[in-house]
Amino acid sequence: MTRDRREFLRTAGAAGLALGFGGIPRPALAQAGDPALAANAKGDARSGHPLRILVLGGTGFIGPHMVQYMLDRGHEVTLFNRGRSNTDLFPGVEKLVGDRNDDLTALEGRTWDVCFDNNASRIPWVELSTEVLRDSVDRYVYVSSRSAYSDLSSVPMHADAPTYTYETAGVALDADRMQLPYGLQKALCERRVMEVFPDGHLIVRPGLIIGPGDPTFRFTYWPVRIHAGGEVLAPSDGTDPIQIIDIRDLTEWMVRMAEVGRTGRYNGVGPATPRPVAELLYGIRAVTTAETTFTWVPHEFLMEHGIRPYGELPVWRPPLPGGEGFAQFDLTPEVEAGLTFRPLADTASATLEYFFGLPAEEQERLMSGRELKREREAEVLALWHARRG
């Protein structure tokens, strides 16, 4: 990427209108109402207490949104990473180069008010960074994951639900610590941060992070597929709950919490009232002018034919026994701590504009993942219609 990502996101929609998609003429994007979209615009407000912030990472998916918001709020930002990707971003920001595996020397002898750890998915990385920064930062913000929970059966779910241990993850204590399961890694990283910063930790556990700049196709599948029109295979009966989070809602909220010194453990999903999957899909359709219909297929039939929740059909996961709370979190503490949720129309429109602003080869790369392909979708729909007679 050769342009500042902020400029890229701003121009992506216009660029996307010039691109085709799989040879199918694309219907126009409907325009979301400006008043609703403006309700959550906070990027132009400056903090009354500028902070010196260290960001570990800062150039991936959540980093650019977060860093730009920090700068807009008047904070002084330092980035620490390997200096290998998106190096053109934020030319006026201090950048320190190192490696979280074994080289944090660039951080030694420095102090900051708060550290944002965005990209740690290995416990050795967090052990090293917290040791080096133990006396260098007042507070440590760690981006964890909903995957850290070992038990998702409670409805509603809360931040005090149990997280993975070696025992509950079924992993031997002498296992390779760089190869531990993702959920266990995140849980161990959390505990390390809380141990080193007992009074200065902020743990945020996002669910699926979506929106402009998403390097995966996990949410983008739905806006792109619906935007293409035609008969769309939709999961279950439309009532299964969905909780996800727009990248901008997540990152802006985390920065605001750091500004006021908020500590503790929080979940980063939304909206506060779980959205039925039908509401999600119809809401996405509302931002297009596509001639789209949905055919709702029971999850038993889908799994019988190898269509997996959170796999070929992303975002959706039925509340089966043992996972009832996956998308049923009580977000009362998070809302009280300032978490807000922009309209679905904003997220869907921004995602489409981002996707169609990408070069054609990048679009194809994203679409080549595990998500349901059009030919396979048509095959399963035909089987379902035959079953129903």
Give residue-wise pLDDT tens across range 254-288: 999 999 999 999 999 999 999 999 999 999 999 99
Whether residue 24 contacts residue 226, with contact meaning beta carbons closer than 8 Å, is answered with: no
Q: Which helix (H) or strand (E) holds 210?
A: strand 209-210
Q: Which of 267, 195, 204, 278 is nearest to 241 (CA)?
A: 278
Tokens at residue 302, please? 């889908």
Q: Is residue 149 very low, low, confident or very high in pLDDT (cuts 50, 70, 90)?
A: very high
Q: With a threshold of 0.85, does the pTM exceed it?
A: yes
Token duo for residue 125: 């990385």
304-353 tens-digit pLDDT: 999 999 999 999 999 999 999 999 999 999 999 999 999 999 999 999 99
CB count within 10 Å of CB 108 equals 10
Residue 232 pLDDT > 80: yes
Structure tokens at 346: 């904003």
The CATH number of domain 5-388 is 3.50.4.10: no
pLDDT category at 32 given cuts 50, 70, 90 is very low
Q: Where are the domains of the chain?
A: 5-388
The pLDDT tens digits for 349-386 are 999 999 999 999 999 999 999 999 999 999 999 999 99
**Quick one: which of 260, 241, 244, 252 has its CA closest to 114?**
260
Average pLDDT score over residue span 79-95: 94
Query: If you search the block for the tokens 């009354």, which residue do you land on?
Result: 48
